[in-house]
Amino acid sequence: MSDPAPVTAIVLAAGQGTRMKSAVPKVLHRLCGRPMVHWVVDAAFAAGARDVVVVVGHGREEVEASLAAAFGDRVRTAVQSVQRGTGDAVRCALPAVAADAELVLLLCGDTPLLEADELRALRDATIASGAPVAVLTCDAPDATGYGRMLRDAAGRVVGIREHRDASPEERAIREVNSGVYVARSAFLRDAIDRLSPDNAQGELYVTDVVALAAREATALGFKASTAGSLAGINDRSQLAAAEEVLYGRIADGLRRAGATVRTSARIDAGVVVDPDAVIEHGVVLRGATRVGAGATIDVGSVLTDVEVAAGAMVKPYTVGSGAFIGEKAQIGPFSHLRADSHIEADAHVGNFVETKKTRIRRGAKANHLAYLGDGDVGEGANVGAGTIFCNYDGFRKHRTEIGPGAFIGSDSQLVAPVRIGANAYVATGTTVTRDVPDDALAIARVRQENKEGYASRLRARFKAAKKDG
């Protein structure tokens, strides 16, 4: 069924989340790189909500800024400055619900595992039943802390009892309120005004809306097909468990689309991995990372905001951030590509090579032990082991440019700003302080002298000195 009635979602997120023991509001704690409340908002949109109102209170500015950055004006906020309960939170949101929204989908900001299918099923069941409100329920293995579903002998929902208000008999009930509801908005607006705080906490409970509906019409209790997706996050150990579930879902989605993702890889939400890419064990992919078709990211590599083109090979334990890796390029093992590293197609960057704001052009190679910062390495150039771009004078950064086909001998220092011409040759161990013309050889090192027979005399002298001292 596609969009049978306009739905506005309300997400309750004004609470503090004391049990997280954190300066960060609970709903901004991240799972797979994405703040908790974003997952809930995404699920609401995916389920067909036209717009979303998030009720904010604790950490209001931070929560608002985070939502605005991700969703723009598709998400509005309503402020609940004092937390007087879930019913009061809904009351605060209602003025922001569009007049023509027929249904309201009510969610909590701390249930990041919710799936759109489940929400759509709840909505469709609500519409089909004609009930003014429906509650998503499940049988909890441990119901402690949850509101219990009260049903009459015929199985009809009559109300919800909060754990702290419940009698021992009621506490024995396994069916719990997930905190997800669909309500007809006209009914909800009327019912919210009639709530009263006669409960253990002296709060307005949104759950009492269900009892009201049951008395005056019917309330639907709709059992979820997968209890696991309803879990609420109250502490960091629940956060960790939920994040593992989400990592599993992300990896499975990519596998179904044709990528190989090993079980211990951790791929954040929003990362793109194309078919036939291989993501090996222990790899972490974050941010706006994209991995092209057939590329391999080998064991233990950590890539943040890195674009990897098709067929590239990123060998084990490479660390990259804000970098581009071209088609069939080879990186690692143990390479460090920092911000604005641009490695073109077929280029090689090897072990213990660090790049920053540097372009390594097509087919160029820097295979071992180098620092290449603020530079440009021309097509097919070769940068030997131990080469350093001396880019920093303590105040400013300077550029090093190497022309196409140039050869930089091992253990050379290129003191920037400096330019090495096309097809030039820098002899091993040279400190280059002046530009090198095209096709020239630059050599700057002390001439070697061999003193025949000197080694044994030297050894005898050192031995004697040691005995004396």
What is the set of active-site residues? 368
Nearer to ligand UD1, 109 or 112 (CB): 109
Q: Which does 324 bind (CB under 5 to 8 A by kind): Ca ion, ligand UD1, none?
A: none
Shortest Cβ distance from residue 278 to ligand UD1 (Å)?
39
Q: Which does 88 bind (CB under 5 to 8 A by kind): Ca ion, ligand UD1, none?
A: ligand UD1
Shortest Cβ distance from residue 6 to ligand UD1 (Å)?
24
Shortest Cβ distance from residue 71 to Ca ion (Å)?
23
Which residue's Cβ lies closest to ligand UD1? 147
Nearer to ligand UD1, 14 or 31 (CB): 14
213 secondary structure, DSSP code: H
Shortest Cβ distance from residue 23 to Ca ion (Å)?
20
Nearer to ligand UD1, 60 or 399 (CB): 60
Residues that bind Ca ion (CB under 5 A): 232
Shortest Cβ distance from residue 31 to ligand UD1 (Å)?
15
Count of residues in the chain: 469
Q: How far is CA 308 from the centre of its chain?
A: 18
Shortest Cβ distance from residue 200 to ligand UD1 (Å)?
10
**Rounded Cα distance, 71 and 32, in Å:** 18
Return the residue matching tokens 């990897």. 308
Nearer to ligand UD1, 207 or 391 (CB): 207
**Rounded Cα distance, 17 and 7, in Å:** 28
Q: Which residues are CB-contacts of 91 (< 8 A; sequence separation ≥ 6)?
A: 192, 193, 195, 204
**Rounded Cα distance, 399 and 394, in Å:** 14
Residues that bind ligand UD1 (CB under 6 A): 12-15, 55, 80, 83-86, 88-89, 108-110, 146-147, 160, 162, 176-179, 205-207, 232
Q: Which residues are CB-contacts of 317 (< 8 A; sequence separation ≥ 6)?
A: 299, 300, 301, 332, 333, 334
**Rounded Cα distance, 278 and 258, in Å:** 10
Q: With b meaning 16 or more CB within 10 Å and e meaning fewer, what string describes 301-334?
A: bbbbbbbbbbbbbbbbbbbbbbbbbbbbbbbbbb
Shortest Cβ distance from residue 386 to ligand UD1 (Å)?
56
Nearer to ligand UD1, 26 or 123 (CB): 26
Q: Which does 86 bind (CB under 5 to 8 A by kind): ligand UD1, Ca ion, none?
A: ligand UD1
| C-alpha to C-alpha distances, 148 to 87, 182, 188, nearest whole angstrom | 17, 18, 21
Beta strands in 57-102 (DSSP E): 75-79
Paired sense of beta strands 133-139 and 175-184, if any: antiparallel
**Rounded Cα distance, 245 and 252, in Å:** 11
Nearer to ligand UD1, 86 or 321 (CB): 86
Q: Which does 207 bind (CB under 5 to 8 A by kind): Ca ion, ligand UD1, none?
A: ligand UD1
**Rounded Cα distance, 421 and 381, in Å:** 11
Q: Which does 187 bind (CB under 5 to 8 A by kind): ligand UD1, Ca ion, none?
A: none
Q: Which does 331 bind (CB under 5 to 8 A by kind): Ca ion, ligand UD1, none?
A: none
Q: CB count, 10 Å around CB of 166?
A: 19
Q: Which does 109 bind (CB under 5 to 8 A by kind): Ca ion, ligand UD1, none?
A: ligand UD1
Q: Which residues are CB-contacts of 211 (< 8 A; sequence separation ≥ 6)?
A: 158, 159, 160, 219
Nearer to Ca ion, 197 or 232 (CB): 232
